[in-house]
Amino acid sequence: MSLLNDQLVERAATSAGVILLVTASLWLLHLVRTLWRLRHVPGPLLSKFTDLYRAQLVRTLRSHEIHQGFHDRYGAVVRLGPRMVSVSDPAAIPTIYPMRPGFPKGDFYEAFIPYLPGGSLPAIFTARDENLHKRLKSPVASLYNLSSIMKCEPSVDETLDVLFEQLDTRFVATGKTVELADWLQYFAFDVMGTMTFSKRYGFLESGADNLGISTGIWNFMLTVGPMTQVPWLDKILHKNAIAAKLKKASGNKIMQIAADAVAERKAETAAKSESNGNGNGHSHKSAKQDFLGEFLKLQSASESSPPWAPLVWTFSNIIAGSDSTAVVMRTTLYHLLTHPSDLARVRAELDALPNLTTTAETSKEGFKYPRWTDLNTLPYLSACVDEAVRLHPPFCLALEREVPASGVVVCGTYLEPGTRVGMNPYVVNRHKGTFGEDAEVWRPGRWLEGDEEHRRKLAGSVMTFGAGRRVCLGKALGVLEVKKVVAALVVNYEIDLIDPKAYTVENSYFFRQKGILAKLRRRQA
């Protein structure tokens, strides 16, 4: 009996040894394969072994600068992970982000989709499936084109009235210092609230993020940013039922705000339909003329868009339509205040507008709001906004794609199928070979130099709004808001920056700034 037990133990030990040997061999084979596949692409040593390294870089909130440093050291093509390559040369944009299908989005984007017990809901930005992306984008694309967003100008002027009344009361009258970084964000959110829901969030009146939306978005990004680099870890830590019960994700909070708004509007519309004797639950005649109203109408009229489309369209407006615009507002205003000659030149353009003081362009409180049709003709204001868009894009991690089955050559480097490849807007937008040796500094004049072909090349080399088939839908709306608020501030106020060195930046995929501390005085007519 003892001999039999010994034999069983010996066999078990042998089997365990074989399993261990096979496991170790497979792991070693995987390691060799991982190291070998991108052996020709230079990069930091740790990036060859694990994606946890680049996730940790994001946690520093300075990954945009670190990535740029890698490219300065290693060149245009840098290995950032076992299967991930970053490219810095704008010449590669048409290859990695073509107008045709072929380079699908990588699992980088999975991190942005809030976990819901009933199943995740991809938005236009996060949808990796091309067919689903088309079903989500096509119905709403026209809402964000230039002719449509020009109709939003009254909402911007209405919100400017509230902003300036608050600035006058709180800071001009008292002489207190204003943190313009915060107030520009409050403005951006309340504008989007007006456009999306026909009502402001109330940030401006309260002088604070009274609903915790912007705080929730930033907390969401603090989690999402690192997880984009290690999507497999995101599923373990955040995207499962156990994790959802232990900790409520910030993204779910924003999704809940969107869901509540959609449900409220549907109930409101249904009630109006019943009161009008229309039992089908859809009264387009009584629908509010805002984004949410349009979303619901489009979904009910479309056979291809999924039933949850209005929810993700609304979620996108909340989470991406305000913070990203505020980044460009802050960048433009801060650099104008730290470059007095540029500020003077923009102000001279604005003061020269022939209709600036007419009743149609002056608020009830005497504030002057230049019209979009006039603002769009001012070359130096446009150059300043273009330079702000270039210097500090709202999104500062590589926008990853998957190399197709054919493989690809990028900047002379072959990348095999399945490789993750992407371009970081912050790094690409500062490419010295394209934008000049002074690419690191603010110089709006670069957008007015050379011939039309040169200026088109510069514009096509900026990755701020994405590229190819996935260009940001809200680009035109964002630019309108930026030009309107910056122009109105410059026309109506003298702004004295307290301490330029107080200005700070952080990046966890979303880029944000603080420290535009100033004193305000109303300009004399």
Q: Is residue 292 a part of any domain in this protein?
A: yes
3-state secondary structure of 354: coil
The per-residue pLDDT for 23 is 54
Q: Which of 8-12, 194-198, 274-278, 291-295 has the lowest mean pLDDT?
A: 8-12
Specify if 67 maps to a domain: yes
Within a domain: residue 442?
yes
Looking at the domain assignment, is residue 235 inside a domain?
yes
Q: What is the mean pLDDT of the chain?
A: 88
pLDDT over 70 at 361, yes or no: no
Structural domain that includes position 276: 45-522
Half-sphere exposure of 161 (CA within 13 A, CB side): 13
Q: How many domains does the chain have?
A: 1
CA gap 164, 159 in Å, rounded: 9
Residue 80 confidence class, pLDDT cut points 50, 70, 90:
very high
Count the neighbouring beta carbons within 10 Å of the beta carbon of residue 30: 11
**Of the segments 36-45, 216-225, 328-337, which one has the largest average pLDDT value?**
328-337
What stretches of 151-278 show up as alpha helix (H) in DSSP?
153-167, 180-197, 203-206, 213-227, 231-237, 241-246, 250-275
**What pLDDT, on a 0 to 100 scale, did the predictor assign at position 32?**
53
pLDDT band of 359, cuts 50, 70, 90: very low
Which pLDDT score is estimated for 245?
73
- Give the residue with greater pLDDT, 191 vs 318: 191
What's 377's domain CATH number? Answer: 1.10.630.10
| Reported pTM | 0.88
Q: Is a pLDDT exceeding 90 seen at residue 356?
A: no
Domain membership flag for residue 26:
no
Q: What angle do CA 472, 311, 510 make, to 5 degrees?
A: 40
Q: Is residue 38 in a domain?
A: no
* Radius of gyration, CA atoms only, the chain: 26
Q: Is 472 annotated as belonging to a binding site?
A: yes
**Residue 500 within any structural domain of the chain:** yes
Region of poorest pLDDT, from 1-15, 276-290, 362-376, 391-405: 276-290
Number of neighbours of residue 78 by Cβ within 10 angstroms: 23
The pLDDT tens digits for 13-23 are 566 555 655 55
Per-residue pLDDT, 269: 80
454-459, Cβ contacts within 8 angstroms, sequence gap of 24 or more: 458/434, 459/386
Query: Which pLDDT does position 357 carry in this prediction?
Result: 54
Alpha-carbon distance of 270 to 251, in angstroms, equals 29
Read off the tokens for 64.
Answer: 């945009």
Question: Using the 8-state DSSP alphabet, how is residue 199 labeled?
Answer: S
DSSP strand E in 6-159: where? 77-79, 84-87
Q: Is it the case that residue 358 has pLDDT exceeding 50? A: no
Helix (H) or strand (E) run with residue 414 in it = strand 413-415
223 occurs within a structural domain: yes
